[in-house]
Structure 1
Amino acid sequence: MTAQDAPAAALWLAGSDDEFLGSGFHLGAGRVVSCAHVVAGQPVVTVRHSGTPYPARVVLLAPPERPPGSAVHPPPDLAVLAVPGLADAPAVRLAERDIAYGTDVLVHGYAVNAVTREVGPESTRLTVAGPSGIGLRGEQGWIPRGLSGSMAVDGNGRVVGMVKATADHRNPVGGWLTPLSELLPLLGGPPSAPEPQVTALSCARLLAEVALLEDPAVRLELVQSVNEQLGPDARIKVPYHGHAYLHLRGIAAACLNHSDPATALPALLNGALALCGPHRALAELGRLLHIDPEG
């Protein structure tokens, strides 16, 4: 996701009677992040995306409430909500470290428009000055009421912090952000890329990148090599196909559906290496299968 795509993951949160509470953002798989002070004490919370409300369940408030007499919610002022209806909605990724001081961030969320008096998308640019009393100090930007809980992203569209409070909702004097480093311990760090799925299709795509396997004779030798490694009682049977990709997909499917795929798949990889030699696509196939060649 780029910085231009990030606003698609912005959300607005509502309480009872559809009362606008503040902003949030989607991290994927229906996991929504906002400020604890935005949803604390709310018996019902819904999350709106593209005008559609989705039921939400608060799964984490850190800390759960504001101490008596405190002017602000203590750090990290973090809320995590489960919103199953948003599982497939656009999402943003977390950065790996805090933003450097003096760097600009883009904020995307929702606020009450000063002209229409309606809740709508709102963005602003802030310059991160450095640490302040209640978080990172953001300067030279306007934070209207409602942006609490919204994402602050870097130039690559990765979340580097979350808006906590405004210094003055009527004037462009900035406010405060909760830094990423305070959010990561409770969010589990930056989400890793999803594990690639092992299918006959994904295996065949990699095998087809090896030029030698376009030769029908080499593909037949590959089947023979696999069977020699498996032994006479565990051979694979693959109908020949003149189209290289379809033939390779059949070979991969036979290994995946073998009674002992943990033996058949390494036999496939080692057979391809023996016939074709080292190749980038075969190295990638080994990583996909979690197999060390000859191992």
Structure 2
Amino acid sequence: MKFALAQINTTTEVADNLEKVRTYTRDAAEAGARFVVFPEATMSAFGSGLRTIAEEHMESWRSALSELAVETGITVVVGEFATTADKVINLLAVYSPSGERSDYAKIHLYDAFGFKESDTVEAGEEPVLFTVDGEDIGLALCYDIRFPKLFAELSRRGARLTVVAASWGAGPRKAEQWEILARARALDSNMFIAALGQADPEVTGVAVPKKGPTGVGHSLVSDPLGKVLNSLDGAERLEIVELDLSAADTAAETVPVLTNAKLGY
């Protein structure tokens, strides 16, 4: 399986973010990737006015992403937002070359480190997988990575790879926690984890909103035994990844944690 991770910074300027997505998607397609993953909050960075941005741009954004997937012939996985009557929904959307669209709504909302995402965001309820070349791939968003049961469920539903898109909040040891959590989820779910976050604006110089999680970079891919296969720094970058997903089957035979699990895990 060959795919691309687009570690970028986004702002609240949707048109600028869309152009960046177009550029990186075309580069990923040219490199032979079958799908490309963008971070959480790619449509717009977290900040004030997010609901208004989502209401004004959702239709045109979705139309543009559908056209891009058809044009390039690869699947585009991208963080975006929709609205309910009084809140927004934090989505990881999947645009396929066939023109079809599906999405995952973030289940675990970021009510931690003094931030309360649930005040303005409505939580999802169901795990979601998407399919590329016959391979089922799991979806997760940011804070989800702290909850092993979601990844166990995705694995049990057939995923040998899960992508986690994030806009990880900066702070003491946060980048270290990000790496530890990605490797731990790989180990306790017998699958590959591709953890892709927003780049570090302190490195890139991109003018992101001052409030809200804006990224730390350090995206990575872990194999099912916790070995880091790909590791990025804080800069914006397109990383091409090629995996033999049969290693997940070998890991499940060698260390069958899901088969051995008790206590409802």
| Same fold flag (TM > 0.5) | no
TM-score when scaled to structure 2?
0.25
Q: Which has the higher contact order (CA 8 A, sep 6+)?
A: 2
**With structure 1 as the length reference, what TM-score do the two structures score?**
0.24
